[in-house]
Structure 1
C-alpha cells in the first residue's frame, strides 16, 4: 500500500506527520511500514522493484513517502498513482482556500490533515469540514503538544508514542494521543477492512 504525504505550502510538517502515523501503524497494529523521507530515493527503490518484477500491490506492509511541499513531475506522478494521499495543511486558512481552488489531480483516496492546531482541534475540524464540504472520515487535526514536540526534537518521538500506546504516559497530553490515534484509524479504514474498531484485514 502506497501512502504519499504532501503539502501545498511550507509548514505542513509532512515528515513529522508521516513518522507519527507510521509509528502508530507499527506499534498498535504490528504493521510493516517503510518510510521514505526522500521521494527521489523512493523513486529509485520503486524502479529496482519493477526491474526485479515484484508487484508492489502484492507486497505486505505499507510504504509512506514524504513529498514535502515540492512541485515537480515526479511528485505529480506519485500523487496520481498512490493508494492514498495525505494532504498536510499548516494552520493557515488562505493555504486551504488556495488548495481547494487549484488542487492537483489525485486518483486515489485523499485524507486532509491539519497540523499543530493551537486552539481546540475539534472546533477547527468542524469549521474546515463545513467550509470545504469535507466528510469527517477524510479529515483530521493534530493538536499542538509541547511535550511531544520536545521528544520529537530529541529524536525520541517513537519511544514516547510506544509508551503512550502501552499505557505508560510520557507526559504527552491525552488529547494529542487520542487525536493522532483517531487519524491513524481513519487513514487505515480508507484501504483496510475493520469489524467495528478492530482491524480485520489490510
Structure 2
C-alpha cells in the first residue's frame, strides 16, 4: 500500500471528485479510491485467515497482522479469541507550498496506555459506530475537534494487529481546506496537535 500511496501522491492528471478544490488533493483522492477496501471488521466475524496461531506456550499470534506489528499475548481461552477493534484517521492536507502533510497528535501524559506518544487521531470502536470510517471520524472530532463535514473519506486500508491485540483499521481522508479546521483539543486525551510531511512516511527504510 505504501508504494500505491506514493504513486497516488505523485498523480497530476485533472479531476474533481466530490468538489475538492485543490487539484492535487482531488487527484490524490481519485487515485486512492482505486484501492479496494478490505471487508468491514465490524460486520464480519474473524475469518479463517485471521484465526490466531497458538504455540506450545499458550502464546497467540495473528497472521492477519504485518509481522512486525503483531505481538504475542497469553490467552486463557485461545479458541474464543476475538480481537477488539479500533480505527485511526490518516488525514491528509496540502500546505501553503503545495506539499502533502499528515495530521498527528501527542497523546496526554496522563493516559494509562501509550501516554505521551505520537499518534494518529483515533480510538476504539464504540457501540453504535456503523463502520471503521464512523469510528475514525468520531474519535477525531472528540480528540481534536475535527468536524466530519470538513473531510472526505477516500479509502479504508487493511487492518493490522497492534501489540495489545487490538485490530486497528486506518482510514484515509482528505482535508481540502486546512484554514477551515479550528482545532479544539481534548486535554484528557491530547497534549499537542501538529503535522508532518506525508513523504516522511513513504520513504523506503
TM-score (norm 1): 0.26
Structure (1/2) with the larger helix percentage: 1
Structure showing greater Rg: 2
Structure (1/2) with the larger strand percentage: 2
TM-score (norm 2): 0.26
